[in-house]
Amino acid sequence: NAGVTQTPKFRVLKTGQSMTLLCAQDMNHEYMYWYRQDPGMGLRLIHYSVGEGTTAKGEVPDGYNVSRLKKQNFLLGLESAAPSQTSVYFCASSPGYLNTEAFFGQGTRLTVV
């Protein structure tokens, strides 16, 4: 089982460039999430989705957009990257019930120069 797979694993962007991070899960989970991890701050929720075709803002949504056109995929877009978006990005998924644990991808390390 692949679980949650993120691509790419590493990326360096120049300020102002755009990119899309792809998350794919093969567990038929309803809920999917994008978090960012910064030193001393733990993980913070960027956006999430509770089903195909739905998205919602999390704690730190500014500068990001998301789409969930297919249940198994959740895309995170940066339209105009800024150095403040240098971070490690984690995608996660969970079944749509009872506050069960979330399953995380391996992370994407993004550097914006």
What residues line the site for another protein (CB under 8 A)?
31, 33, 35, 40-45, 48, 50, 56, 58, 88, 90, 92, 94, 99-107
Q: Scan for tokens 């978090």, then name that residue.
A: 35
CA angle at 51 for the pair 43 and 66, rounded to the nearest 5°? 55
Minimum CB distance to another protein smaller for 19 or for 88: 88
Q: Report, in Å, the least distance between residue 46 CB and another protein.
A: 11
Q: Is the dihedral of CA 13, 15, 20, 23 positive or negative?
A: positive
Q: Which is nearer to another protein, 17 or 72 (CB)?
A: 72
Q: Please, which residue, 33 or 74, has the CB nearer to another protein?
A: 33
Cβ atoms of residues 30 and 49 within 8 Å: no
